[in-house]
């Protein structure tokens, strides 16, 4: 065959392969190789394309607008490398202005991404407004693996929020996130179920309660986590607050230097409103936490709640009747679901 013809065949093949790749696999990969065209544009296009379910990021993104609301299941996968070709997290920077994923009914996944300076302080009437600056899901699901959430800000839930949805967080770090009201980093409510493993929460603050996290009418399990230097400025639960019939297992987690500056429960506050909150502490440790309300520098248990400790009750435990604190290792002997 003539060389020109060969060339054309190859170009055609290449063109078809490139065209087929995204639609067949639902995966789009964009990064440094495409530096001429904005990575942000590709990400937004992928989010809007109904066929694309995954976007592989290979370079950092500085957002110039908020991400469009999710209309399908979607995962953002970071695959960035440093100058020596070692894997590193890809940075998504919201510049203190822009918000991330908002999903009603869909899955939002993220891995190996460092989200910073995202913001959702909208004061709108939709219940997803102002909550979860990086991601919010209602009747959907959020999963985050090996991510860092830093300096994000919202009215509630500086980083992630779920309502009637599962939230799975594994090997992540939450640093200096801020909520003007509740839940500095994470909020789980209205039958939301959060399970957070091997993650570190440091320096997060809530204007009111739950310096790092708040569960309300939901479930929040915290396994092998570290809570360090989180603050509830004007409420309860320096690190975590459980309220409104919430349940959870806090296992092998460490609470250090958390503060309820003008409230109770320096590390953890457990409140109940209608019946029992089934909260189980399994081999957790407490150090250097503080609270305004006397005697509650580690844990405060308020009305209508029963809390189990295994194997010891911590110091700085305050129980408001008819709340109860029991020694009971039944739940701790079972795997966390
Ligand atoms: C948000 O809404 C509340 C009450 O609806 C109002 O008092 C407040 O001024 C609003 N804040 C902003 C920043 O719009
Ligand atoms: C501290 O909390 C009390 C009520 O619990 C409230 O009256 C007071 O204004 C709060 N202090 C500050 C500095 O907000
Ligand atoms: C310990 O907790 C389990 C599970 O919540 C419960 O069934 C059991 O009755 C408790 N044991 C005691 C002695 O209260």
Run of H or E including 249: strand 248-251
| Dist. CA 250–CA 187, nearest whole Å | 16
Same domain as 337, residue 191: yes
Task: Supply the DSSP symbol for 33.
Answer: G
| Dist. CA 189–CA 74, nearest whole Å | 22
Beta-strand relationship, 80-81 and 87-88: antiparallel
Q: Which ligand is nearest to the CA of 327?
A: 3
Ligand 3 pocket, residue 293 CB under 6 Å:
no
Same domain as 271, residue 209: yes
Q: Give me the DSSP letters along 152-174.
A: -EESB-SSEEEESSEEEEES-EE
Same domain as 129, residue 195: no
Above 80 in pLDDT, residue 7?
no
Confidence of residue 27 (pLDDT cuts 50, 70, 90): low
- pLDDT of 286 reads 98
Q: Which ligand is nearest to the CA of 232?
A: 2
Above 50 in pLDDT, residue 1?
no
Ligand 3 pocket, residue 276 CB under 6 Å:
no
Contacts of 63 (CB under 8 A, 6+ apart): 40, 92, 93, 94, 95, 97, 98
User: How far, in Å, is the centroid of ligand 3 from the Cα of 332?
Assistant: 11
pLDDT, the chain, mean: 90
| Dist. CA 195–CA 197, nearest whole Å | 7
Ligand 3 pocket, residue 328 CB under 6 Å:
yes
206-264 confidence digits (pLDDT tens): 999 999 999 999 999 999 999 999 999 999 999 999 998 899 999 999 999 999 999 99
Question: How many domains is the chain partitioned into structurally?
Answer: 2
Above 50 in pLDDT, residue 192?
yes
Same domain as 111, residue 31: yes
Going by C-alpha positions, the residue among 237, 285, 246 that lies closest to residue 264 is 237
Same domain as 319, residue 186: yes
User: How far, in Å, is the centroid of ligand 1 from the Cα of 272?
Assistant: 28
Which of 2-11, 191-200, 266-275 is predicted most confidently? 191-200
Ligand 3 pocket, residue 331 CB under 6 Å:
yes
Number of the ligand 3 atom closest to the C-alpha atom of 328: 1
98-108: buried (b, 16+ CB within 10 Å) or exposed (e) per residue? bbbbbbbebbb
Q: Does 18 reside within a domain?
A: no
Run of H or E including 24: helix 3-25
User: How far, in Å, is the centroid of ligand 1 from the Cα of 156?
Assistant: 14
Number of the ligand 3 atom closest to the C-alpha atom of 326: 14
Confidence of residue 278 (pLDDT cuts 50, 70, 90): confident
Contacts of 114 (CB under 8 A, 6+ apart): 78, 89, 90, 91, 92, 147, 148, 150
Confidence of residue 276 (pLDDT cuts 50, 70, 90): low
Same domain as 207, residue 320: yes
- Ligand 2 pocket at CB < 6 A: 234, 262
Ligand 3 pocket, residue 330 CB under 6 Å:
yes
| Dist. CA 237–CA 261, nearest whole Å | 9
- pLDDT of 8 reads 43
Instruction: State the Rg of the chain over Cα.
Output: 22
User: How far, in Å, is the centroid of ligand 1 from the Cα of 123?
Assistant: 6
| Dist. CA 87–CA 64, nearest whole Å | 26
Same domain as 214, residue 130: no
Same domain as 112, residue 53: yes
Same domain as 117, residue 189: no
Contacts of 151 (CB under 8 A, 6+ apart): 96, 116, 117, 175, 176, 177, 178
Q: Evaluate if pTM is beyond 0.85.
A: yes
Number of the ligand 2 atom closest to the C-alpha atom of 234: 14
Q: Does 97 reside within a domain?
A: yes
Number of the ligand 2 atom closest to the C-alpha atom of 262: 1
Q: Give me the DSSP letters along 71-95.
A: -S-EEEEE-EE-TTS-EEPEEEE-T
Q: Which ligand is nearest to the CA of 334?
A: 3
- pLDDT of 275 reads 53
Q: Does 144 reside within a domain?
A: no
Q: Does 101 reside within a domain?
A: yes
Token pair in block for residue 38: 């904005």
User: How far, in Å, is the centroid of ligand 3 from the Cα of 327?
Assistant: 9
Same domain as 332, residue 233: yes
Going by C-alpha positions, the residue among 74, 60, 68 that lies closest to residue 31 is 60
Domain hosting 199: range is 181-337
Q: Does 244 reside within a domain?
A: yes
39-59 confidence digits (pLDDT tens): 999 999 999 999 999 999 999
- pLDDT of 26 reads 61
Q: Which ligand is nearest to the CA of 276?
A: 3
Find the mean pLDDT for residues 169-191.
Answer: 98
Same domain as 117, residue 226: no
82-112 confidence digits (pLDDT tens): 999 999 999 999 999 999 999 999 999 999 9
Q: Does 154 reside within a domain?
A: no
Above 70 in pLDDT, residue 28?
no
Ligand 3 pocket, residue 121 CB under 6 Å:
no
CA-proximal residue: ligand 3, atom 7 (nearest): 330
Above 60 in pLDDT, residue 2?
no
174 against 15, higher pLDDT: 174
173-198: buried (b, 16+ CB within 10 Å) or exposed (e) per residue? bbbbbbbbbbbbbbbbbeebbbbbbe
Q: Does 20 reside within a domain?
A: no
Cβ–Cβ < 8 Å for 292, 261: yes
User: How far, in Å, is the centroid of ligand 3 from the Cα of 329?
Assistant: 8
- pLDDT of 37 reads 63
Which of 124-133, 253-262, 269-278 is predicted most confidently? 253-262
290-314 confidence digits (pLDDT tens): 999 999 999 999 977 889 999 999 9
User: How far, in Å, is the centroid of ligand 2 from the Cα of 318?
Assistant: 20
- pLDDT of 248 reads 94
Last residue of a domain, one of 116, 139, 162: 139
Same domain as 307, residue 225: yes
Q: Does 42 reside within a domain?
A: yes
């Amino acid at each position: 065959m003539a060389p020109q013809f060969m060339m054309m065949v190859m170009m055609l093949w290449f063109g078809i392969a490139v065209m087929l790749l995204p639609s067949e696999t639902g995966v789009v990969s964009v990064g440094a190789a495409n530096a001429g065209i904005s990575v942000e544009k590709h990400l937004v296009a992928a989010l809007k394309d109904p066929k694309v379910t995954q976007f592989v990021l290979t370079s950092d993104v500085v957002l110039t607008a908020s991400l469009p609301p999710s209309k399908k299941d979607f995962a953002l996968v970071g695959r960035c490398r440093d100058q020596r070709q070692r894997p590193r997290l890809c940075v998504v920077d919201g510049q203190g202005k822009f918000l991330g994923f908002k999903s009603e009914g869909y899955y939002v996944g993220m891995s190996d991404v460092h989200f910073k300076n995202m913001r959702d302080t909208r004061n709108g009437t939709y219940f997803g407004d102002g909550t979860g600056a990086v991601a919010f899901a209602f009747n959907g699901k959020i999963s985050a693996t090996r991510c860092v959430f830093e300096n994000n800000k919202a009215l509630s839930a500086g980083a992630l929020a779920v309502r009637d949805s599962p939230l799975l967080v594994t090997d992540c770090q939450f640093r200096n996130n801020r909520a003007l009201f509740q839940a500095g980093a994470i909020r789980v409510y209205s039958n939301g179920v959060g399970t957070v493993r091997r993650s570190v929460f440091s320096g997060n603050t809530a204007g009111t309660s739950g310096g790092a996290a708040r569960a309300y009418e939901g479930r929040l399990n915290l396994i092998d986590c570290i809570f360090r230097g989180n603050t509830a400025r004007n409420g309860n639960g320096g690190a975590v607050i459980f309220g409104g019939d919430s349940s959870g297992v806090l296992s092998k987690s460490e609470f250090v230097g958390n503060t309820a500056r003008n409230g109770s429960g320096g590390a953890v506050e457990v409140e109940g409103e209608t019946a029992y909150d089934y909260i189980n502490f399994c081999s957790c440790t407490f150090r250097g936490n503080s609270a305004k309300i006397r005697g509650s520098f580690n844990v405060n248990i308020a009305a209508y709640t029963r809390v189990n400790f295994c194997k010891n009750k911590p110091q700085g435990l305050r129980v408001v009747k008819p709340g109860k604190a029991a020694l009971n290792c039944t739940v701790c002997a079972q795997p966390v679901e």
